[in-house]
Structure 1
Amino acid sequence: MLLADFGTSYCKLLDTELDTSPRVVPARSLGADFRADLATGHNGRRRAQAYVNELTALAWGGEALIDEPDFVLLDCGSRDIKFVRYAGGRLADMGWNAECGASMGFTIELLASHYHLDYQTLPVPERAFSVTCGVLGLSHIFDAVVEGNPEAVAVARFVKGIALNAYRFAGEPARLYLSGGLCDNPLFVASLPCQVAPLGRFVLLQGLLRARQRGAAAAPSSIRLESATEKR
């Protein structure tokens, strides 16, 4: 069975019969007729026979990977942010922000390419920009550079502002499990003002594996497995 997390910028794929581990491919590299058996993600509905809501996949992935009754799991994608919170082993809260989190991961990646920066080497700045949107927050960088600040410092302050906004959105937990490509961005991770446990890019695929095993009836908090033909 081919499982897929169809993200905006990257797709995470796992063939349960052929692959020994998941793989990441650029979304633009997939042909128009590429289909999965079971999928989640922004473009999942039109590319799969069956679709799992992203919050469902995130929650199930958290259940599979986190052996704790109480936890907060935050997923930071290219175009949105979402979280689930468990208390006493049960789903207690969730949130999905595609407006204030708009193009967050995509913008961070774009800035590194535009300014030729390496997030592996950028230190965490003392101050952060007040950023609530990846797109609208770009003006802070441009203003800071015009004022004479180094480009690297301006971008680092932007990234820290993005991290703080995501942290507040998740409810400001003392310990935060992190999902998504930004797990590989040390500046973003270090900018979160709490203990962070990065889980990597394949949490939602783990959720699909659990969905495959359990089916729609066990979906947390009545979030359900959907036919890919259902309307959003």
Structure 2
Amino acid sequence: MREAWQHNIPKVWKERGVAIPDGETPETLIKTPKNAQYFAALGAVEFGKDEDAHLGRYVGTAGLEHYITVGRLEEKAASGGRGLSTSLEELAAFEEQYKPKPFTPATFQPGDVVRGFVGLDGGSTSTKAVLLSTEGDILCKTYQLSKGNPIQDTIEMFDGLRAQVEEQGATLDILGVGTTGYAKDILRDVLKADAAIVETVAHTESAVKLYNDPHVIVDVGGQDIKLIVLTDGRVKDFRLNTQCSAGNGYFLQSTAESLGIPLREYADRAFTADAMPIFGYGCAVFMQSDIVNFQRQGWQPEEILAGLAAVLPKNIFLYVASIPNLAKLGVRFVLQGGTQHNLAAVKSEVDFIRSNFRGADVEPEIIVHEHCGESGAIGAGAEALRLWKNGRRTSFIGLDAVRKISYRTTRNEATRCNFCKNNCLRTFIDIKMADGAVAPAPQAAPAKLASRPPPRPTHPSCRVRRGRTGASSCRRWPRPTMSAA
């Protein structure tokens, strides 16, 4: 930090016309004194010396002990609320209904040729892939937290799907690929995928495919919240948080980790809390400040986690959607997104929906998508399947070519963005396909549809160059590289 101040403060002096005294340097003027970490405590001592005797005089630890054992608990009781569940019986009933059921991948015989479609969701904090059969059944799936490079994540996704098939002695034959998520465009260009669809469409496709007439889709991802309202299977309205990510998946995950609690233990620990602090919904910066204040007041980690889970539905329905009476949206709610793996978050959403469903003669039906983490990938794969049924021949580069994709990442001053005052340091990913790696021969479409020509590219100005290029040479960008900021 000292070096940072020595580097930046002289810039402020220069802007304001402050001259550095002769013979002095920033290093001599900006120093870190010994015992700097104790200066706040030393300042408290010096301040106390000037107080009246009855205030600045040491009176022992009795008052502090009373505050810790009694007073702080009284403050918590006055400012907080009850825990996420009212009783062990209520919690058991909830878990019986909503605890995720294990997924059993399809089994194959040695020598089988497994023909299917890959849906790929390159999200902000995780990457997901599914393999769908020609009938649309989910054969296998894979999920991992993103490692900061969508290309490497994608290679590992395909390796994961391929391994689940080939370990049984079968062979995988990809008939089509669809992409969605933040990285959908770069993945479409690199893989020559058949479709790249926005997340609202992907999640809608997935919910409609698995559930009868869903009315509301609640997708809580790592960085965003999407509320999609449907009528007869079509999108009627949707809401999306455009700036703040308070309460979303990554915020819950990072907070748990900062409190020393692994993400997989979040719900179990949160359910042990008999009381919890009440967070204000909205900005993550304010919520982070609330966490510090609640810790000072004596709230324990499991109580803080419960409070964060409880504020999630407020962020969804009050902050993002601004809809206090949820009966206006519909009756059947489908909860999707990787955050729904967290049962503490699910219970908060279920309780909030039920308690804010007013003026209707029916109770809300609340479903957690059985593949909540992969729901977007399922929608992308379903779109590739739909195109194939309509005569589309895949342009996918092939499984072997995916393994041979090589790339180089560049992150230095040359990649810094100077279009605003933030001056963000970007990461550029230059991609090179292996020599001879070209798209495979088109797969045969259903006979009665095979004569139809393939559809035109989604955007006529986008073209992927052969050989060494970036992910895209779309003329909307100044150079043939793709950045993952």
Unmatched segments (≥5 aa) in structure 1: 219-224
2:300 aligned with 1:150, yes or no?
yes
2:54 aligned with 1:54, yes or no?
no
CA 1:190/1:116 → structure 2, altered by over 3 Å: closer, same or farther? same
* Contact 1:104–1:135 (CA under 8 A) maintained in structure 2: no
* Contact 2:205–2:382 (CA under 8 A) maintained in structure 1: yes
Report the counterpart of residue 5 of structure 1 in structure 2.
121
Report the counterpart of residue 120 of structure 1 in structure 2.
267
Secondary structure at the aligned position of 1:130 is classed as coil
* Contact 1:80–1:103 (CA under 8 A) maintained in structure 2: no
Runs of 4+ in 1 over 4 A off after TM superposition: 33-36, 124-127, 225-232
Q: Distance in 1 between matches of 2:150 and 2:317?
A: 36
Report the counterpart of residue 44 of structure 1 in structure 2.
184
Q: Deviations over 1:17-62 (max 9, x none)?
A: 7x83111022217674646842101122112234111111111112
Give the TM-score taking structure 2 as reference length.
0.41
2:139 aligned with 1:20, yes or no?
yes
Q: Distance in 2 between matches of 1:5 and 1:31?
A: 10
* Contact 2:122–2:181 (CA under 8 A) maintained in structure 1: yes
Report the counterpart of residue 375 of structure 2 in structure 1.
203
Aligned AA (1:128)? I
Q: CA deviation at 1:206?
A: 2.0
CA 1:79/1:129 → structure 2, altered by over 3 Å: closer, same or farther? same
CA 1:134/1:79 → structure 2, altered by over 3 Å: closer, same or farther? same
Q: Which moved more, 1:171-180 or 1:189-198?
A: 171-180
Q: Distance in 2 between matches of 1:155 and 1:4?
A: 31
Q: Distance in 2 between matches of 1:166 and 1:207?
A: 22
Which has the larger Rg?
2
2:318 aligned with 1:173, yes or no?
no
Unmatched segments (≥5 aa) in structure 2: 1-116, 159-176, 355-365, 391-456, 463-471, 478-485
Q: Distance in 2 between matches of 1:89 and 1:55?
A: 13
* Contact 2:130–2:374 (CA under 8 A) maintained in structure 1: no
CA 1:136/1:22 → structure 2, altered by over 3 Å: closer, same or farther? farther
Q: CA deviation at 1:81?
A: 0.7
* Contact 1:73–1:84 (CA under 8 A) maintained in structure 2: yes
Report the counterpart of residue 221 of structure 1 in structure 2.
none
Secondary structure at the aligned position of 2:237 is classed as strand
Secondary structure at the aligned position of 1:119 is classed as helix
Q: Deviations over 1:159-214 (max 9, x none)?
A: 21123211333545355311011211111111121253111212112211321133
CA 1:207/1:135 → structure 2, altered by over 3 Å: closer, same or farther? farther
CA 1:154/1:52 → structure 2, altered by over 3 Å: closer, same or farther? same
Q: Deviations over 1:50-104 (max 9, x none)?
A: 4111111111112112212x51001111110112111244321112213133572
Higher strand share: 1
Q: Which moved more, 1:39-48 or 1:161-170?
A: 161-170
CA RMSD of aligned residues (A): 3.0
Secondary structure at the aligned position of 1:191 is classed as helix
* Contact 1:12–1:25 (CA under 8 A) maintained in structure 2: yes
Q: Distance in 2 between matches of 1:53 and 1:81?
A: 14
Give the TM-score taking structure 1 as reference length.
0.81
Higher helix share: 2
Secondary structure at the aligned position of 1:20 is classed as strand
Q: Give the share of equivalent positions with the same residue, in percent.
A: 19
State how many pairs are aligned: 222
